[in-house]
Structure 1
Amino acid sequence: MHEASVVANIVDAVLEELKKYDVTKVNAVTIVVGDLTQLGIEQMEFAYEVLSQGTVLEGSKLLVEPEHIVLGCDKCGYEGPAKMIDFGEDGYGHDIPVLSCPKCGGPVKVLEGEACRVKNMDIETRDD
């Protein structure tokens, strides 16, 4: 479950950033998670709840915004979503992106979909 280690790093980074402010309460932490990370959102939320206990983050929500895959092809100029292949039987599998140009089949650059970053924090300070 690599979600726990990713969330541990996020919690550590957020707590370090919060040291700069006179924080009385954290309501929410919003993160952006790309489809290519293959991170499980429910697992991340659970790990956040556990790892935030005993800190100023305890009781806050982890809000996750998805970042969908966007590919760019220098060969034909395509910019858009990846073609997806349904990988699995009876609908229990996962869609797997094809990382080649859906238009011409050429090589692509991943423009979006790899992110895992903190977007913002909803905090209350003594100055509020």
Structure 2
Amino acid sequence: MNAKADGYRGIWYMNQPSNDEYVYKYSGGLGTYCAKHRPFAIYCQQVDKTFFCYGGTTANSHRELLHMVSYFDHKTRTVPRPTILLNKQTNDAHDNPVLSVDDQGYLWIFSTSHGTARPSY
């Protein structure tokens, strides 16, 4: 996709109905879910920026997972609008992205998957 989003919206997700007053085992804004996924952010000293990724969503639906990336510029203290990298075609926050930076300074975004039903990239 490689398009700029018009703002920041994290995915809303719920899992495992609990049939009690809590409704679900867990639910809510889970743009950086799950704890096993890491890292979501990396500071790059060469450019004085912290790059981050998260599970975003569209303006029309809080249940359509988009892989998003942006950065915090420590010099200007600004955060530009995020870039949409991929529509994962699911609402499962287990598929949130993670990132890495190689020795040459290239940023790599990895698309995870919950099980084997959907592809990883």
Give the TM-score, by structure 2 length.
0.26
TM-score by length of 1: 0.26
Q: Which of the pair has the greater relative contact order for Cα pairs under 8 Å at 6+ separation?
A: 1
**Structure with greater helix percent:** 1
